Amino acid sequence: MAAGKVRVANYHTGGIVFPRSGANGVVLPPLRLAPGRTTEVDKEEWDKRKAMPIVQKYLDKGLLGVVRKEGAVPVSETTSTELTIPDHLTNEEETGATETVKVKVKRSRAGSVQVD
């Protein structure tokens, strides 16, 4: 393993994707953690990721972990559906809050786009 790297194991049955952004608003390829595999990640980046509340929940549930060996790992029977959903992400049926909204739709003509 390269210096300054850690191996993160994804014990989840599905892949986990973290968006990344670089300097000056450049969007880098996302960090993808394949299900049942380990992924080598920069230690500095992983330290920032594991400070995030959602990543902590994955770690606490045993769906993510730092390992020494590379390769396949067993997937957990615990699923992410067993994680608690933050209040700001629940929908109106779960919170009981409803609101009537009027929407006005304007029709527009289709235009053309020239791609060089």
Name the pTM for this structure.
0.61
Mind listing the pLDDT tens digit for each residue in 25-51? 777 888 899 999 999 999 999 999 999
For residue 6, the cross-strand partners are 41
Per-range mean pLDDT, top range of 18-22, 45-49, 108-112? 45-49
In this prediction, residue 116 carries a pLDDT of 54
Mind listing the pLDDT tens digit for each residue in 63-101? 999 999 999 998 877 555 566 666 766 666 555 666 777
* Half-sphere exposure in the Cβ direction for 26 (13 Å, CA): 5
